[in-house]
């Protein structure tokens, strides 16, 4: 190949050069490349002929070539070893980082005969170094953003690394902190147990965790939760400690205040007959003394869901089971049921509960239980009196309404009959009195119009209340109605299931009138299930959008249902299937919905019961302004 290789087996030398773990080349003293090994050519995709001389430069990254060419002449002139990093283009167009090393080859007299070079792929190393720098940067940012004082210490307890919050809290400079023993920052009363705990951790290698007070720069002591984790080398020998100090002074003060308030809470629970509990539904967590007293459980016993269910009144167990299912599904609950204690005492109990955290993969609930027996008995007595009063009021109103209609309509009807008889006589005369009959017919039309005016006035009477169309949240309005009706529904052993759409757009309507319609539908559904005893009395309320993009509300029951041929009849005025019903609730409800430019309808379920639904325009589609309800009565009439 060249004179300096004469006497060497060329085949052996070529195999050795091509086997080297790098891209090998040689150059003449003036820098012109005259040889490149097979690996170099295979990597760059250039032939040896094209790469010789200065042709190799096309494989160097354009951003790195100027610096390479700048340093190469100085190395040629100095005749010394050199190295630098640059990117070489692979045959597929990808650039990777290489370490360029050059070695001068001189003869026995020291005269430069040749340059030898090797390019070693360091791309992976460069990426690793970049990743390490990013990790160091991220670690520093993490330490600075951590909500606590972060310190690393060696085996002797000397501070090595720390966050800026450590400097601020203890009022030390970086130099002072590195040569500072932290013992003088610990409260004297806490120091003995701190030393004992840390000594044990050092001897055993177990994590260190303790609460103690640390002195701030201004001399104030605050409580800290201090945790330390041993740092180990490859031989698992402890070389230092990671330490995190978390300020818990406010928490400690809160704990003290909590203990003081707990005694007051227990007394308040006794006076209000309200107990509290914490449970995960599988294992007892905590019941207050008042909760034990209400259920008359022995405070020494473990309270489970089954233990509570055993004292629930047999008629209320389906609703109790449904409430437990809702709790298990992660939903908040607020419901009432009856219990029968071991002494046979009947009590009415109201329970509320909501989730506070996840414990061991199971939902943990905190709740309250209140003995509402006295108020419930008083409410039932009031409801009986109210129902009797309402029955009398409905009967009185119906009597007055009937008399009014009879009085108002009787006169024009009498005139119509009289005029019709007169008209017949005139037409039967010989010759017929056509002019007189014509005049009599005109009076008949007049009296008919009078009767129509009477009906119009009666409709005006029923729609005397003005209402305002305004944007409203139908979900929120529904929840308010349920809250008002909850006691009545629970007394009828009705289980309410809500399926309210989360993204329901606002509707436009009169809030009070629509709530009266919803209340009427709920009451009808509850009444329809009054005789159901072979299945839970499930009432499902759903909201959503219908096919026409209108806001829809549905009330589904599991009662006796309705016959398909009666679907339209039930909305007729004075049509009812109830023994004590007036038959005007659904009729007026339909009028209210129609006045909102909506629709109210009913349909039998695939299974037991029926579903009543109404839909009204969304807020952007409804007619703005104030209108009169067509055929809508006062709240008492609708309900």
Token digits for 562? 């309705």
Is the pLDDT at 73 greater than 80, yes or no? no
Find the mean pLDDT for residues 376-399: 60
pLDDT at 138: 56
- Compute the distance between CA of residue 632 and CA of residue 589 in angstroms, rounded to an integer: 7
- Compute the distance between CA of residue 343 and CA of residue 380 in angstroms, rounded to an integer: 23
Q: Is residue 140 part of a domain?
A: no
Which band of pLDDT confidence, cut at 50, 70 and 90, is reported for residue 179?
low
Same domain, 196 and 259: no
- CATH code (residue 359): 3.30.450.20
Region of poorest pLDDT, from 476-480, 485-489, 520-524 = 485-489
Local structure of 388: helix, strand or coil: helix
Same domain, 345 and 391: no
Span 217-232, pLDDT tens digits: 888 999 988 888 888 8
Is the pLDDT at 19 greater than 80, yes or no? no
- Compute the distance between CA of residue 566 and CA of residue 246 in angstroms, rounded to an integer: 71
Which band of pLDDT confidence, cut at 50, 70 and 90, is reported for residue 87?
very high
Closest among 552, 477, 461 to 516, alpha carbons compared: 477
Print burial letters for 283-313: b (CB count within 10 Å at least 16), e (below 16): eeeebbebbbebbebeeeeebebeebeebbb
How many CA atoms within 13 Å lie on the side-chain side of 381?
6
Find the mean pLDDT for residues 152-158: 73
- Domain end among 342, 371, 400: 371
Find the mean pLDDT for residues 19-31: 82
pLDDT at 96: 93
Is the pLDDT at 368 greater than 80, yes or no? yes
Find the mean pLDDT for residues 280-296: 75
CA angle 342/345/347 to nearest 5° reads: 115
Same domain, 178 and 113: no
pLDDT at 639: 35
The residue with greater pLDDT, 585 or 427, is 427
305: left (phi over 0), alpha (psi -120 to 50) or beta: alpha
- Compute the distance between CA of residue 88 and CA of residue 40 in angstroms, rounded to an integer: 10
The residue with greater pLDDT, 195 or 579, is 195
Please answer whether residues 291 and 279 qualify as being in contact, where contact means their C-beta atoms are separated by less than 8 angstroms: no
**Strand-strand pairing, 274-279 and 23-27:** unpaired
Cβ neighbours of residue 633 under 8 Å, at least 6 residues apart? 462, 463, 584, 588
Region of poorest pLDDT, from 71-85, 166-180, 220-234, 388-402 = 388-402
Same domain, 192 and 63: no
Same domain, 619 and 482: yes
**Phi/psi of residue 343, nearest 5 degrees:** -90, 0
pLDDT at 250: 86
Q: Is residue 531 part of a domain?
A: yes
pLDDT at 592: 85
Q: Is residue 340 part of a domain?
A: yes
pLDDT at 627: 40
- Compute the distance between CA of residue 365 and CA of residue 331 in angstroms, rounded to an integer: 10
Question: How many angstroms from the chain centroid is the CA of residue 365?
Answer: 17
Find the mean pLDDT for residues 432-443: 82
Span 615-635, pLDDT tens digits: 999 886 443 433 443 333 333
Cis peptide leading into 13, omega within 30 of 0?
Answer: no
Find the mean pLDDT for residues 79-88: 85
How many CA atoms within 13 Å lie on the side-chain side of 365?
25
The residue with greater pLDDT, 384 or 555, is 555
Which band of pLDDT confidence, cut at 50, 70 and 90, is reported for residue 505?
very high
Q: Is residue 132 part of a domain?
A: no
Is the pLDDT at 94 greater than 90, yes or no? yes
- Compute the distance between CA of residue 3 and CA of residue 99 in angstroms, rounded to an integer: 28
- State in Å, rounded, how far the first CA of the chain is from the last one: 111
Q: Which domain holds residue 152?
A: 146-247
- Compute the distance between CA of residue 275 and CA of residue 428 in angstroms, rounded to an integer: 90
Span 592-613, pLDDT tens digits: 888 888 999 988 988 899 999 9
- CATH code (residue 385): 1.10.287
Same domain, 346 and 495: no
Q: DSSP states of 188-226 as a string? A: TTTHHHHHHHHHHHHHH---EEEEEEEE-TTS-EEEEEE
Cβ neighbours of residue 257 under 8 Å, at least 6 residues apart? none
Q: Is residue 135 part of a domain?
A: no
Please answer whether residues 461 and 540 qualify as being in contact, where contact means their C-beta atoms are separated by less than 8 angstroms: no
Q: How many CB atoms lie within 10 A of CB 107?
A: 10
pLDDT at 202: 76
Please state, rounded to an integer, the average pLDDT across all residues of the chain. Answer: 78
Same domain, 455 and 527: no
Is the pLDDT at 387 greater than 70, yes or no? no
Same domain, 7 and 122: yes
Residue 96, exposed/middle/buried by CB under 10 A (0-12, 13-18, 19+)?
middle
Among 124-128, 376-380, 457-461, top mean pLDDT goes to 124-128
Cβ neighbours of residue 119 under 8 Å, at least 6 residues apart? 22, 23, 25, 40, 88, 98, 99, 100, 101
- Compute the distance between CA of residue 516 and CA of residue 513 in angstroms, rounded to an integer: 5
- The number of folded domains in the chain is 5
Which band of pLDDT confidence, cut at 50, 70 and 90, is reported for residue 431?
confident
Please answer whether residues 212 and 230 qualify as being in contact, where contact means their C-beta atoms are separated by less than 8 angstroms: no
Place of tokens 């003081």: 260
Span 560-592, pLDDT tens digits: 888 877 777 777 755 566 555 555 677 778 888
pLDDT at 95: 94
Which band of pLDDT confidence, cut at 50, 70 and 90, is reported for residue 408?
low
Q: Is residue 210 part of a domain?
A: yes
Span 531-550, pLDDT tens digits: 888 889 999 999 999 888 89
Same domain, 221 and 278: no
Assessment of whether the complete model's pTM goes beyond 0.85: no
Same domain, 203 and 152: yes
- Domain end among 202, 230, 247: 247
- Domain end among 405, 432, 462: 462
Find the mean pLDDT for residues 53-81: 84
Span 46-60, pLDDT tens digits: 998 898 988 999 999
Q: Is residue 133 part of a domain?
A: no
Q: Is residue 36 part of a domain?
A: yes
Region of poorest pLDDT, from 29-33, 97-101, 495-499, 635-639 = 635-639
Is the pLDDT at 282 greater than 80, yes or no? no
- Compute the distance between CA of residue 465 and CA of residue 446 in angstroms, rounded to an integer: 30
Is the pLDDT at 178 greater than 50, yes or no? yes
Same domain, 40 and 189: no
- CATH code (residue 625): 3.30.565.10
pLDDT at 398: 54
Span 313-350, pLDDT tens digits: 998 889 888 888 887 777 888 888 899 998 999 999 88
Same domain, 493 and 633: yes
Give bridge partners of residue 244 from the DSSP assignment: 150, 227
Which band of pLDDT confidence, cut at 50, 70 and 90, is reported for residue 1?
very low
Local structure of 248: helix, strand or coil: coil
Closest among 229, 230, 220, 223 to 246, alpha carbons compared: 223
Q: What is the percentage of the chain residues whose pLDDT exceeds 70? A: 75
pLDDT at 45: 92
């Amino acid at each position: 190949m060249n004179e300096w290789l004469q006497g060497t087996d060329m085949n052996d030398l070529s195999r050795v050069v091509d086997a080297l773990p790098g891209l090998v080349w040689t150059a003449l003293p003036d820098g012109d490349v005259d040889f490149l090994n097979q690996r170099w050519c295979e990597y760059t995709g250039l032939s040896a002929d094209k790469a010789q001389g200065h042709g190799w430069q096309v494989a160097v990254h354009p951003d790195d070539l100027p610096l390479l060419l700048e340093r190469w002449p100085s190395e040629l002139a100095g005749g010394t070893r050199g190295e630098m990093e640059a990117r070489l283009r692979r045959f597929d167009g990808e650039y990777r980082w290489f370490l360029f090393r050059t070695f001068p080859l001189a003869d026995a007299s020291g005269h430069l005969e040749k340059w030898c070079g090797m390019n070693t792929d360091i791309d992976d190393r460069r990426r690793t170094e970049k990743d390490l720098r990013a990790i160091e940067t991220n670690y520093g940012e993490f330490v600075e953003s951590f909500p606590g004082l972060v310190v690393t210490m060696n085996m002797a307890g000397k501070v090595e690394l720390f966050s800026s919050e450590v400097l601020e809290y203890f009022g030390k400079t970086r130099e002072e902190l590195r040569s500072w023993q932290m013992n003088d920052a610990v409260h004297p009363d806490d120091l003995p147990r701190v030393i004992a705990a840390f000594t044990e951790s050092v001897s055993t290698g177990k994590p260190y965790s303790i609460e103690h007070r640390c002195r701030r720069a201004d001399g104030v002591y605050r409580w800290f939760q201090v945790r330390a984790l041993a740092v180990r080398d490859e031989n698992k020998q402890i070389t230092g400690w990671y330490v995190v100090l978390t300020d818990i002074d406010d928490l400690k003060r809160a704990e003290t205040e909590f203990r003081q308030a707990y005694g007051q809470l227990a007394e308040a629970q006794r006076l209000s007959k309200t107990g509290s509990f914490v449970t995960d539904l599988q294992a007892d967590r905590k019941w207050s003394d008042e909760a034990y007293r209400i259920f008359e459980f022995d405070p020494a016993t473990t309270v489970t869901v089954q233990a509570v269910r055993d004292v629930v009144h047999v008629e209320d167990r389906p609703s109790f089971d449904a409430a437990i299912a809702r709790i298990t599904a992660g939903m908040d609950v607020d419901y009432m049921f009856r219990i029968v204690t071991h002494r046979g005492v009947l009590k009415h109990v109201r329970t509320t509960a909501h989730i506070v955290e996840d414990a061991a993969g199971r939902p943990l609930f905190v709740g309250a239980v209140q003995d509402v027996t006295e108020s419930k008995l008083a409410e039932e007595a009031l409801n009986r009196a109210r129902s009797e009063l309402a029955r009398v009021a409905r009967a009185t109103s119906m009597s007055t309404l009937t008399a009014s209609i009879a009085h108002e309509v009787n006169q024009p009807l009498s005139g119509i009959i009289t005029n019709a008889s007169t008209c017949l006589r005139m037409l039967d005369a010989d010759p017929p009195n056509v002019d007189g009959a014509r005049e009599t017919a005109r009076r008949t039309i007049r009296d008919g119009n009078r009767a129509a005016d009477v009906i119009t006035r009666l409709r005006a009477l029923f729609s005397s209340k003005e209402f305002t169309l305004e944007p409203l949240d139908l979900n929120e309005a529904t929840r308010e109605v349920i809250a008002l009706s909850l006691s009545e529904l629970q007394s009828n052993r009705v289980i309410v299931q809500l399926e309210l759409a989360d993204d329901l757009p606002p509707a436009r309507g009169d809030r009070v009138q629509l709530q009266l319609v919803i209340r009427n539908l709920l009451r009808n559904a509850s009444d329809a299930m009054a005789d159901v005893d072979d299945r839970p009395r499930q009432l499902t309320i759903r909201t959503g959008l219908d096919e026409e993009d209108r806001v829809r509300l549905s009330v589904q029951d599991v009662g006796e249902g309705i016959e398909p041929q009666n679907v339209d009849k039930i909305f007729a005025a004075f049509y009812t299937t109830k023994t004590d019903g007036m038959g005007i609730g659904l009729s007026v409800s339909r009028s209210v919905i129609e006045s909102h430019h909506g629709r109210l309808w009913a349909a039998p379920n695939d299974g037991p019961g029926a579903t009543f639904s109404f839909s009204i325009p969304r807020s952007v589609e409804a007619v703005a302004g104030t209108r009169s309800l067509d055929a809508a009565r006062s709240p008492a009439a609708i309900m």
